[in-house]
Amino acid sequence: MAPSLGVAPYDAIAPIISTRFHIKYKTARVGQDVCFLVAALIAGGPIGFASIVVAFFAGPLISYWDRSISTPTMDYINDLSEQPSFNHWQMWLPALLNLDITHCQMLIIQL
């Protein structure tokens, strides 16, 4: 969900509603899922226990995952890419070149 719109048109509805009406994503997602659940009920579609659980918990779980896992991971990756350090290269260069540390240090000194 890098562009924050999801992988299908259905997944793009909640972020758009959240942005336009200035409400939390999880509220928009629960509202969206409940509306589709009611539409399925009116259309005579199958609705089970899992449908109800997903309708009320998908939004909060997605928000929790984004806040607790995705955002910190992306921040960490961005920090590493913005501030490359010599220590990172010194640690990974031998493995990349398949050399031991002494050969790597000699290469770095020559550069």
For the chain, what are the domain ranges?
9-83
State the Cα–Cα distance between residues 56 and 27, nearest whole angstrom: 9
Q: pLDDT tens digit string along 12-61? A: 888 889 999 999 999 999 999 999 999 999 999 889 999 999 999 999 99
* Dist CA 40 CA 54 (whole Å): 14
DSSP 85: -
Q: Please tell me the total number of residues recorded for the chain in this structure.
A: 111
pTM (two decimals): 0.62
Measured CA angle at 34 (ends 4, 19), to 5 deg: 30
